[in-house]
Amino acid sequence: MGLCGGEGSEEREREWEEAAEAVAYDSCTWPPPVVAVCGPGNSGKSAFSRLLLNTLIGRYKRVAYLDTDVGQPEFTPPGFVSLHVLEEQTKDLTMIYLRPPKRCFFFGDVGAHRNPKLLLSYIFGLYDYFLQELYCSNETDNPKKSAIPLVINTSGWVKGIGLHVLSEILRYVSPTDVIRLHSTSEGKNLPDGAFWLDGHQGDSRVNLIVIRASQNSPRHLLVKKEARMIRDLRLIAYFRQCLPRDFPVFSCDDLVHGFSAIDPFQLPISKIQVIDLHCQVSGGAVYDFLTGTIVGLGSSTCLPLSTECSSPWCIGLGFIKAVDIPGNCIHLITPASHHLLENIDIIFRSCITVPTCLLQVSDEVDDITERLRDL
């Protein structure tokens, strides 16, 4: 079965395989390649990135993956910018996988438009971590410490602010290779050549490879609906980890019953700093709008060693079931371990839409019902 559907799928599959092999085997051994994969939405960036990861693992055994697409991330729920280290090839290029990242930041939205500056600081901070921990060692006799290649997955938003963000990423990273997926719909494509260097100094000797996109005529409404469904599936799969592995799930009602039965973890409000990432609520009212939302969890003791970013690393997501202000308590469910939760003193508020099966187990539903009764 080919990687790309429709007419000419075999040719595209062969073209993709040749591009991945050229990056992995035509480059010198040292330093390993740093590869950015970019192109319009629904062009096959994720599928090609997985193929490239598999090919690079075949040569280097370990490969880093920097995911900058907060709307359709590869290995995390939506809203994250994350860095992973992979050592095993992916057998099924179509499956949804969740993997614990090496490091991650929680952006709290599925697009860059609200705060592109914050998103870029997160991406730069993760790239700095990669350089410090995974790329600057010459201990080739120790595979755990030798430098490894990096694959960067980018957003499909390639116009306006999206193009600006992509250009800033490429200028900061200075990749050795850029893979550009090209659609037959010319208006959707990125500019030709090393567009990110226009008017800026930089190394134009980058290896630029153009390959055909997996789909040339996406049905936009269907694609948007599918994107929302995939985001919900990733969030549900993430919080499904709160339930026993053998818990039977055959419907949304099963999930609602399972989530409702979870004994929530309790955080003291007096200990918690709420960071409103996108300035949605002012002042002390922030606690009034936490119930029924998905939040990022962080600790002020977990700060990156980067001049580009001072925000703490995120250790996971939580769903706020209730906030008891008189009782000084936040009730949340999360798959994060209690050992990690003991150090939590920061909550990142988000704009991420909550799946229905989670929203039904929060006090927010009861609050709305009471208000309707009053009216």
pLDDT in tens, the chain (375 residues): 344 445 567 888 899 999 999 999 886 667 899 999 999 988 889 889 999 999 999 999 999 999 999 999 999 999 999 999 999 988 766 677 899 999 999 999 999 999 999 999 999 999 999 999 998 755 555 555 578 999 999 999 999 999 999 999 999 999 999 999 998 888 889 999 999 987 655 556 899 999 999 864 444 444 555 888 889 999 999 999 999 999 999 988 999 999 999 999 999 999 999 998 887 666 667 777 899 999 999 999 888 777 777 789 999 999 999 999 899 999 999 999 988 899 999 999 999 999 988 888 876 545 544 443 443
Joined together, the tokens standing for residue 264 give: 């929530």
- 106 — phi, psi (to 5°)? -105, 115
Give me the sign of the Cα torsion angle 322, 232, 310, 302.
positive
Beta bridge partners of 348: 275, 296
Q: pTM higher than 0.75, yes or no?
A: yes
The rounded distance, in Å, linking the Cα atoms of 297 and 312 is 10
Q: Contact, 66 vs 123, CB < 8 A?
A: yes
Peptide bond just before 33 cis, omega within 30 deg: no
Q: What is the predicted pLDDT for the residue at 214?
A: 83
- 203 — phi, psi (to 5°)? -85, 110
Q: What is the predicted pLDDT for the residue at 186?
A: 82
- Ramachandran category for residue 160: left, alpha or beta (phi over 0 → left; psi -120 to 50 → alpha): left
The rounded distance, in Å, linking the Cα atoms of 256 and 261 is 9
Q: What is the predicted pLDDT for the residue at 368?
A: 41
The rounded distance, in Å, linking the Cα atoms of 256 and 372 is 22
